[in-house]
Structure formats: C-alpha cells, structure tokens
Structure 1
Amino acid sequence: MIDTLRATSTIVTALARGAREVRVVLDYDPGAEKGWLRIGERHGIKLEGADYDNSPVAVSRLDLSGVGILLRTTNFSRAFAIAKDTTVYAGSYLNISRCIDLASSLRPCLIYPCRRMGRVALEDVLAALIIRSGEIPPEDDLLELVKMAESARNLISLGKLEDVEFSCRINRFDILPISGPGDSSFRAK
C-alpha cells in the first residue's frame, strides 16, 4: 500500500526511528491506549487527542526507541482496514528501492496506491509506476511532479511543504514495514 503524503512515509520514518510497531486504527480507544503515542490527522489537520500530526518530519525528530504508535489518518486507515486480512507492506519514496525489490520478487504482487477522498492520488500512482518500472527519477524532478498533485497542494496550503519535501526523498531508509494477515500493526523488516 502506498500513501506517500503522508501515512506510509510516517510509518516508514517511525519504524526507522526505532518504534516497535505502528498500529493503524480507525479511531482512538482512550481506555486501551495507555503508553502509546497517538499520531493522527483528518484532512491534514492534527486530530484532537493526538500527540502529533501525521507528519513524517515531526516523527523524524523523535527518539522512538521501543515506542508503540497508534496511527489514524483520513484515507490510509480506511484502506488498511479493508486490506488487513492479507500481508501488507508500507511503501513510499523513502523506501522505494526496497519496494522495487519486493515487487520484483513477489508474484503476484498487488500494488495499491491509496486514494484521497475517493479520488486518485497522483503521487501514489506515480510511486506505483516507479515500483513497477524500477526506474527511479531524480529527486528534484519527483518533487516537482508531486507538488502538482492535489494532495500536495492541500498540504502546502496548510503550511506543510516540509512534509511534502521530506516525503519525496528517495531511499532515505532501508526498511520495509510489514503487517501480516489479521494484524493491525506494521513492524520493520
């Protein structure tokens, strides 16, 4: 699954920063989340009750060694809830070479670019095409293309250009988050 702006970029970054797991949720359960860091947004805005916005930049600045994270997002949480009975990997530009290697070794391999508000998310389709082709464009060219997408324009209008730029970095991390069938958490592989 790919949701580069920002869910899968946040998952990849959190696990690279030492988080023990990132559990994707549809809602927070206040009685069951003691000791968990809550990251969440709705339409790009930090959720009330969340510790942090769904920002890979903010996550990149944290020491998450051994921390469990609850992640709730506008689009990825719903898409993941539908797919969680299968093995799901979290792909982004930050770990694109790992995604390319996986896609070339798994047959069949379904690449699912998440949608934004029920519509195609250009940046996620672009990532899927890169994964399938194995051809990685220069980072500057990628950023310019992604900045034209509706999702990026929305984030930029909310003052989150730094998240867009960070999410377009190529191969920043050498991990591949995986969630097994029936599991709601991603762990580093």
Structure 2
Amino acid sequence: MAILIGASTQVLVQGITGSEGAFHTRQMVAYGTKVVAGVTPGKGGTDLDGIPVYDSVAEAAEAHRLDASVLFVPAAFAPDALLEAAAAGIPLLVCITEGIPLHAMLRTYHLLRAYPVRLIGPNCPGVISPGQAKAGVIPPAAFTPGPVGVLSRSGTLTYEIAHHLSQAGIGQSTVVGIGGDPIIGSSFVDLLPLFEDDRETEAVVLV
C-alpha cells in the first residue's frame, strides 16, 4: 500500500507548458502516473501529448476529478497558484517551486490552513510510491516497491537512501521529499502518522 499517491491518483500539473513542467509531466506519465490535466493561464484549449490544458484550476476541476496537483510555477506566482488549487478542492499539493520569498510563503501557509489540503514542499522533489505513481521530479530508477517509507528534507539523500535500500533488497512503500525551505507545508511529525496507519509500511527512514 502507499500513502499520498497511488496507481489511481489523478494528477493536475500547474505550469504544464513550461519547459520544466512539460519535461517532468512526460516523465510522470512514463512512470504510470495518471496526469489528467494541466493549467497554464492563456494556454487553455491546447494540450500536451493529449493532456488537456486549461486556463484555470477551477476549469480543470470542473472537467476532471483531481486528487493532487504538482506545481511547476515561477516563485512570484506560486503562492497564488497554491491558493487557487486549494480553493478548487484539490486535497494534495506538491510544490516543486524554489525561491518563494519567505514572507509570501508564510502568509500562504497560514491561508492554506483554511482548506482541507495537504501541502508537500515547496522546494521539494515530490512524492513517489514505487511501482505505482510519482508526483514531482524524483528520478525513479533507484526505487523499488516494498515495506519501508522514507521522509527526507534532502532530495539528493532521498535518492541515495533509496538506492542503498533497493541494493539491499529492501523496497519502499512511499518516499516523500518534504522540502528544505524554512516554511514547508508538511513536517515529519505531520506525515509519520500516515505511515503508522499504513499496514504495509513496516519501518520509516527519516533524513
């Protein structure tokens, strides 16, 4: 079993038509992630490899069930993009964006508390449930399915730990890069109970 994302999770990509967003959307789809829609203001009515693009999250949410959004949005626009996704009722936000000003992120963090939403990041590599789906920029080669969860503030160490676990024959249930910025949406304390409630996770690595 997995936490946060799995094989049936339907994903929106905000900033899907930018170079980073387009590249990693294709990587997510190649891994098996169900990316069902994207948002780029002014690009509504277009598509990326058959994935429909909308002008707003509200429009995408009207047309699709959205379980998670992955954000590849410039830092100046990321706070508004996060709030837009939360207002549309998307329960999981994975913010890849780095460099969001501290005061802006602090304000956004408090505003998000009014919504039933979980934020991973910002400035994070994302989430992967090996063999099922990934949301973000995590390169999947090091990961294998299994009973160990991983929570990490460091993207590089996340990959290194997964590689050594996999080399030792120890697979992972879900791996979460929580982000290294001073203000992040979810801490170790926030996410550990999800692993504790997952019957198929037997241990968790914290970095």
TM-score (ref. length: structure 1): 0.31
Greater Rg by CA: 2
The structure, 1 or 2, with the larger RCO (C-alpha pairs under 8 Å, 6+ apart) is: 1
Higher fraction of helix? 1
TM-score by length of 2: 0.29
